[in-house]
Amino acid sequence: MRPYGDVTHLQSESTTRCPLNKTKAAPCTPCDLYCDVTYSQSESNATKTVLCDCNVKCYDMGSEKKPTIIITGFGPFGEHSVNASWVAVQNLKRRNLLPHLDVHIQEIPVDYQEVSQIVPNLWKEKNPQLVVHVGVSGMANKITIEQRGNNTGYERMDVKGQRPKKKCCINDGEECILSGIDMSQVCDEINKAENELEAEVSHDAGRYLCDFSFYTSLSIDRSRSAFIHVPPLGQPYSEDQLGDGLAIAVSAMLKQLTDQKSS
């Protein structure tokens, strides 16, 4: 992740350093790009606003309500006795890489029936601003961000030896659904960050549980759904690098959603 930069002071007597970090800048929210920020405090001490170098009004420090996001990873299957997706999601949460967000994480079994129940329930219970599913791909050597989900073609058996009866996610559903988030922009944020991570866009999530979970969320709200494939651990990224990559991606997605609301 980019290191915190020094706080840039506004021309105001009430300007002070961000209380989240007494000596360095805090991450920008909702974009959380760890850029230099400006922290200002009103005379009444009631409004505390963080601005970042992308000129977005990021966060009302006086507000207790944080945007809710859900990030899921998958359990073990096949050769992936340790699933890098769930390791990466746990790493992001444990290291508190998105401190201004209410981050809920969930491990999902590689099971069609379980996914078809768990994913809609998460949307209903949490009413999230964003849902990001994360899966592992043995063919990937970059962080791969999916632009669309597919409804049909689910031939492969899950960990219980089952597959959908009609080999589709939703009966009579659209053949494919595009996410309303521009994943090429998300990849750009990862690729320009000061780390060794690389990212690319994909238009085929694989027609297995990854694709199945993504399509399920897209069918609920395509404007707030995303899927990220990560490589297996150490091929080439470490656990921390994968956690960093997820944090950058989630931040870039939230920034798009914020920009869309303000336009």
Catalytic residue status for 229:
yes
Q: Identify which of 71, 27, 70, 68 has the alpha carbon closest to the alpha carbon of residue 51.
A: 27
Residue 98, both tokens: 């998105």
Q: How many helices (H) and strands (E) does the chain have?
A: 5, 11
Q: Identify which of 121, 130, 126 has the alpha carbon closest to the alpha carbon of residue 98.
A: 130
Tokens 């967000």 correspond to: 101
Catalytic residue status for 54:
no
Catalytic residue status for 9:
no
Give me the sign of the Cα torsion angle 126, 131, 136, 142: negative
List the Cα angle 6/10/15 in 5-degree steps: 85
User: Which candidate in 100, 146, 169, 187 is catalytic?
Assistant: 146
Contact 25, 33 (CB under 8 A): no
Give me the sign of the Cα torsion angle 17, 20, 25, 31: negative
CA dist., res. 223 & res. 77, Å (int): 30
CA dist., res. 55 & res. 36, Å (int): 11
Catalytic residues: 146, 210, 229
